[in-house]
Structure 1
Amino acid sequence: MGGLDLTFLNWDIISKFVVKGFIFSVQLTVIATLGGILLGTVLALMRLSGKKFLEIPATFYVNGMRSVPLVMVILWFFLLVPAGFYNYLPNGANNRAEYSAIITFIAFEAAYFSEIMRAGIQSIPRGQVYAGQAMGMTYAQNMKLVVLPQAFRNMLPVLLTQTIILFQDTSLVYAIGAYDLLKGFVTAGKLYGRPEEAYLLAAVVYFAVCYGLSYMVKRLQAKIAIIR
């Protein structure tokens, strides 16, 4: 520990190596969160539909994804999907790893967001659902106007907590060569002969970001509790 030199990481190195990776990690987190919530909501509604032809495949998908490590899903998709698939995406040949990470994260996180959405929907009193039905609302109208707005408010702290976990998991894309925050630190550490310092500083950045977001979630949760 006495040989560590944490001062090697100056702004020039940060702007050259780390900023690019940080931007991609944030982009991946935001895109995967939005896509995961959207797909997860569809999966949750399928599981709550009461129709076997919708419920069974959605249940199989959710339980299957939740039973496999994320890094394995990332590697499977990256290695098994033909390279020609990426030619249909903008600049796909040069960003194969990044596109693989985005698609994989959306598909994987949707399973977790689905369970959060399902729990949130089930937390709404059935009386409100029956009231909407008594007013002549269809199932879709009831969900859109009555159930989902309240469910999202109830689930917001949990959704944000899952997003924080998602940000931490973005470091796994380093396994397929995507240029994320961790790879930015590691690249700088290798070039300047300071790999230990690079990993340590990367951990500090991840901790600072996640701790700050966790504090904001706690504050938000307290405000939502007061509103209730």
Structure 2
Amino acid sequence: MMDFSQIIPALPLLWDDLKLTLQLLVLGVLGGVVLGTLLALMRLSKSKLLSNIAATYVNYFRSIPLLLVITWFYFAAPFVLRAITGQDTPVGAFASCLVAFIMFEAAYFCEIVRAGIQAIPKGQMGAAQALGMTYSETMRLIILPQAFRKMTPLLLQQSIILFQDTSLVYTVGLMDLLNSARSRGDILGRPHEFLIAAGLVYFVISFIASRGVKRLQKRLAT
């Protein structure tokens, strides 16, 4: 018979691990949006070299699983740093997972940002240039603010997906919410109860966030 009584005393510890999950999410989204925006501008650049580099990056990371990216950074990054610096540079699980999330999600955020920029009428770019504004000023002050407003729901939806994908950090031993629930459940002999509780947390957060995104979409549409 299921017994969830052991979960209540473990809530403070699970909350600490949930905060680590949310920290990974927030930093991963912020870094991914910044890098994704740069990649989007490169893809839209008139320079074929920059456009091809960005396109290759996006196509590569969208063609491989996130689990592979996480394990690659965790196991391969120390060897790469050793080859560059000549010294053993330890790379922790948190840092390697964060870099993996940023680089992987940047490929998806890039396409979202690119679509948002292309949705802005081209006449606005011409009007800004006619007023003497540079390309960077036009992008920073006119195009990107409007584009981000249009693509905010898609960015949030991708963030929800990333929140669910943070559970993959168990492969490198990082104690996020899911890994912590599994570990504590095994110790207390109640693995199913703890995994069910963790699943409910993921469901509730994702469901509330999804409902919020739908409301935002309706609000922006009007």
What TM bracket, shorter-length normalisation?
A: over 0.9
Aligned length: 217
Matches within 5 A, 1:116-127: 116-127=112-123
- Secondary structure of 1:7's counterpart equals coil
Q: Which amino acid aligns with 1:153?
A: R
Task: Measure how far apart 1:184 and its partner are.
Answer: 1.6
Equivalent residue runs for 1:199-214 within 5 Å: 199-214=195-210
Q: Report the counterpart of residue 185 of structure 2 in structure 1.
A: 189
- Higher mean alpha-carbon deviation, 108-117 vs 127-136, is at 127-136
What amino acid maps onto 1:143 in structure 2?
M
Compute the displacement of 1:7 (Å). Answer: 2.7
CA RMSD of aligned residues (A): 1.7
Matches within 5 A, 1:45-194: 45-82=41-78, 85=81, 93=90, 96-194=92-190
The one-character-per-residue Cα deviations of 1:157-191 (angstroms, maximum 9, x if unpaired) are: 00001111010000000111111111121121011
- The aligned amino acid for 1:186 is R
Structure 1 residues not aligned, in runs of 5+: none
CA distance in 1, matches of 2:5, 2:211: 28
What stretches of structure 2 of length at least 5 have no aligned partner? none
2:10 paired residue among 6, 10, 13: 13
For CA contacts below 8 A with separation 6 or more, give which structure has more relative contact order.
1
Among the aligned pairs, what percent are the same residue? Answer: 48
Residue 220 of structure 1 corresponds to which residue in structure 2? 216
Task: Measure the CA separation in 2 of the matches of 1:114 and 1:142.
Answer: 19
CA contact (8 A) 1:20 1:184 kept: no
Q: TM-score, normalised by structure 1?
A: 0.91
Shift of 1:112: 0.4
How far apart in 2 are the matches of 1:66 and 1:167?
Answer: 17
Q: Please give the alpha-carbon distance, in whole angstroms, between the structure 1 residues aligned to 2:81 and 2:18.
A: 27
SS, match of residue 5 in structure 2: helix
Q: Which runs of 4+ in 1 moved over 6 A?
A: none
CA contact (8 A) 1:157 1:217 kept: yes
Counterpart CA distance in 1 for 2:178 and 2:111 is 29
> Residue 5 of structure 1: CA displacement?
1.5
My pick for the range that moved more, 76-85 or 109-118, is: 76-85
Q: Distance in 2 between matches of 1:145 and 1:85?
A: 38
